[in-house]
């Protein structure tokens, strides 16, 4: 048996992944254990979990892989600082202590945290890790590979081909010309947190006025990005500050778009909505051109994607809808966390030349359910220890009957079952669920449970076999990485007055038979639920459909704003008791809010999480 541990860390979304003879055993982000969102620290807790899942200690590891090459990245930083000197002096002074004290000495840090490990420590290029994370778990024998993010060492986007047990990256776009950094610049400018709030920009975009967004997009094309037909591009660095400063944009950028950046938590205006729509349109166009060019260049019929920009599910949906490739696999942990998995698989297949077996249908990601799970005995021991009131069920059938009753009553349920998800999406194991038919569900979840901005949409989960009754999906979407649209016969026709509404006024207008998950442009970030990956959730949804005729539920991540997705029963209970959630499911235990005591609440619960 050969065990390989993959590690990502020290920038954002540190993670660990363990494979055994090429099979994925476990993977998790460090944030889930430390409760610090996007935790960049050495993934000590994630590693400990991965080893415990396999029942081994570090002495049994045959190799450890790190997801990028620090020396090459350090060279890029130095070269960039020197190119802009003396403008980047403050940023340089802030960065150097971290590099000289920690980031250049990865082997030392690994061996300090894992003293029993005696094997080799190897490195993959950042975009090799992304590419490996996309292709090797895919169901394809052959596929084109596209990676897009902010920046790795020097690369910001790349493409190549995966064949059997090998990947080859053939073309790169280099820093500072980056689609990810362009999107992050607008994330910063519209008042959201870089490397965290990009998905908010994506959610805000549909509120933009089409004419205004078109004008802003033209400003971007005329002044900021020179986008070629093949998807390659150059950015006009006169408008940015990320090479040399501590911000993403500068005064010239502000002058172009009519004023300074929005301050965090200040009111979102129509300008931010229009800018979000504009940059989303530009990025989608770049992604489409890249995909078309890659299909032409490689001749491959399948496409695998990774990198932070691959989490832009609207862009993914456009690529898929255009039918550029026949089949697609997008790594569920497409950002830096997924690099831990990618580097482990890269060592196994690319370096050790181990065979890879696929069937062209089923991926090897195991539903991305690769994190910790807890037995009913462990759950009951915890609940008894804190004096919680609960009902325990002997089987899922009886419990599901009760849960359907609660859903029909409009209750919001924290659903904690099975292994925790790897990646940024809650896929039904650490989820908050509700009735998608409810006109009030979106505002209830946003304001009373998630405590987040009201404009942000919620995602639907739909039984895979009924997905096309509700959404214009061609293929299943098990990882919530593509956007579809509600089909015409499920939509509600808007009145003339409703059609005249602008911006955030559009929010509370029901648009379909499933208003809680229908965005203002009829889009939805869809997850299809099947019997294999999610047998319990699928059974629950089937019973709900039997009772109501509806095969769709609301699904959002089990956390509050700024908090990582819950990992263990204590995380789940604390989120449940301190929010407006009505019901908590902890495996085969159901807790009702009205049966708990006020004394169980945590003082200043929300204050412990920094706003994202």
Tell me, yes or no, whether 59 lies in a domain. Answer: no
Q: Which two tokens stand for residue 527?
A: 């997850």
In a domain, 122, yes or no: no
Which domain covers residue 445, as residue numbers?
Answer: 376-608
β-sheet bridge partners, residue 168: 161
* Residues 356, 358: Cα–Cα separation, whole Å: 7
d(CA 30, CA 14): 6
Secondary structure letter of residue 449 according to DSSP: I
Cα separation of 218 and 206, whole Å? 18
Strand 523-525 relative to strand 527-529: parallel, antiparallel, unpaired?
Answer: unpaired
Rounded Cα distance between 60 and 2, Å, is: 8
Per the domain annotation, does 87 fall within a domain?
A: no
At 275, phi and psi to the nearest 5?
-65, -40
Calculate the CA 549 to chain-centre distance: 31
SS3 13: coil
Q: Does any domain span residue 99? A: no
Closest Cα partner for 320 from 345, 302, 293, 332? Answer: 302
The reply to whether 326 falls in a domain is: no
Is 252 contained in some domain? no
Q: Which residues contact 77 (CB under 8 A, 6 or more apart)?
A: 95, 99
pTM: 0.95
Do 393 and 590 touch, CB atoms closer than 8 A? yes
Beta carbons of 16 and 7 less than 8 angstroms apart? yes
Pick from 410, 482, 417, 470: nearest CA to 442: 410
Q: Residue 461 belongs to a domain with what CATH number? A: 3.90.870.20
Residue 343: CA count within 13 A, CB half-sphere: 27
* Beta strands per DSSP E along 93-188: 121-123, 142-148, 155-163, 166-174
The verdict on residue 481 lying in a domain is yes
Q: Answer for the pair 143, 132: CB distance below 8 angstroms, yes or no.
A: no
Q: Which ranges in 114-197 belong to alpha helices (H)?
A: 126-135, 179-189
Q: Residue by residue, what is the 3-state secondary structure of 28-59?
A: EECHHHHCCCCCCCCCHHHHHHHHHHHCCCHH
Domain total of the chain:
1
Rounded to the nearest 10 degrees, the angle between the axes of helix 270-298 and helix 210-223 is 60
Instruction: Please tell me whether residue 539 adopts helix, strand or coil conformation.
Output: helix
pLDDT at 329: 98
pLDDT below 50 — which residues of the chain? none
Q: H or E segment at 222?
A: helix 210-223
What is the CB neighbour count within 10 angstroms for residue 125?
22
Specify if 107 maps to a domain. no
Cα–Cα dist 362/218, whole Å:
42
């Amino acid at each position: 048996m050969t065990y390989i541990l993959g590690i990502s860390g020290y920038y954002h979304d540190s993670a660990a992944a363990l494979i055994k003879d090429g099979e994925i055993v476990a993977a998790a982000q460090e944030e889930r254990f430390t409760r610090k969102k996007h935790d960049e620290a050495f993934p000590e807790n994630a590693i400990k979990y991965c080893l415990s899942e396999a029942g081994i200690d570090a002495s049994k590891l045959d190799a450890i892989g790190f997801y990028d090459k620090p020396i090459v990245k350090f060279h890029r930083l130095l070269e960039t600082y020197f190119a802009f000197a003396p403008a980047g002096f403050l940023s340089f002074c802030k960065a150097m202590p971290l590099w000289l004290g920690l980031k250049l000495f990865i082997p030392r840090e690994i061996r300090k945290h894992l003293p029993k490990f005696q094997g080799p420590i190897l490195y993959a290029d950042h975009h090799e890790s992304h590419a490996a994370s996309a292709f090797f778990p895919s169901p394809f024998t052959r596929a084109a590979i596209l990676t897009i993010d902010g920046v790795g060492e020097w690369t910001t986007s790349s493409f190549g081909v995966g064949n059997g047990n090998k990947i080859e990256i053939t073309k790169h776009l280099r820093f500072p010309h980056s689609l990810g950094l362009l999107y992050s610049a607008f994330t910063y400018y519209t008042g959201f947190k870089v490397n965290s709030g990009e998905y908010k920009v994506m959610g805000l975009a549909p509120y933009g006025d089409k004419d205004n967004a078109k004008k802003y997009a033209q400003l971007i094309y005329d002044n900021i990005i020179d986008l070629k037909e093949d998807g390659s591009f150059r950015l006009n660095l006169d408008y940015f500050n990320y090479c040399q400063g501590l911000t993403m944009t500068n005064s010239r950028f502000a002058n172009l778009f009519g004023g300074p950046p929005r301050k965090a938590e200040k009111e979102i205006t129509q300008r931010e909505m229009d800018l979000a729509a504009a940059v989303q349109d530009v990025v989608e166009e770049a992604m489409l051109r890249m995909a078309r060019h890659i299909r032409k260049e490689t001749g491959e019929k399948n496409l695998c994607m990774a990198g932070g920009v691959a989490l832009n599910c609207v862009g993914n949906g456009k690529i898929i809808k255009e039918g550029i490739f026949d089949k697609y696999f997008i790594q569920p942990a497409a950002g830096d966390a997924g690099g831990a998995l990618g580097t482990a698989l890269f060592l196994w297949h690319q370096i050790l030349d181990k065979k890879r077996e696929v069937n062209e249908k089923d991926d090897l990601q195991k539903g991305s359910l690769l994190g910790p799970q807890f037995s009913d005995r462990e759950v009951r021991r915890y609940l008894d220890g804190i004096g919680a009131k609960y009902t325990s069920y002997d089987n899922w059938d009886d419990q599901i009957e009760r849960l359907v009753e609660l859903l029909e009553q409009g209750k919001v349920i924290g659903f904690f079952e099975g292994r925790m998800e790897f990646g940024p999406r809650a896929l039904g194991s650490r989820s908050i669920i509700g009735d998608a038919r409810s006109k009030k569900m979106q505002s209830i979840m946003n304001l009373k449970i998630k405590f987040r901005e009201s404009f942000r949409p919620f995602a639907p989960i739909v039984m895979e076999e009924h997905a096309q009754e509700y959404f214009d999906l061609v293929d299943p979407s098990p990882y919530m990485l593509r956007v579809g649209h509600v089909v015409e016969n499920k939509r509600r026709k808007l009145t003339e007055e409703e059609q005249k509404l602008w911006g955030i006024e559009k929010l509370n207008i029901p648009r379909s038979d499933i208003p809680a998950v229908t965005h203002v442009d009829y889009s939805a970030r869809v997850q299809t639920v099947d019997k294999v990956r999610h047998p319990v959730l699928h059974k629950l949804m089937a019973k709900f459909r039997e009772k109501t005729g509806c095969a769709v539920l609301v699904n959002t991540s089990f956390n509050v704003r700024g908090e990582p997705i819950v990992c263990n029963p204590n995380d789940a209970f604390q989120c449940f008791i301190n929010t407006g959630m009505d019901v908590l499911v902890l495996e085969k235990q159901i807790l009702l809010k009205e049966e708990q005591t006020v004394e169980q609440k945590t003082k200043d619960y929300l204050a412990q999480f920094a706003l994202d």
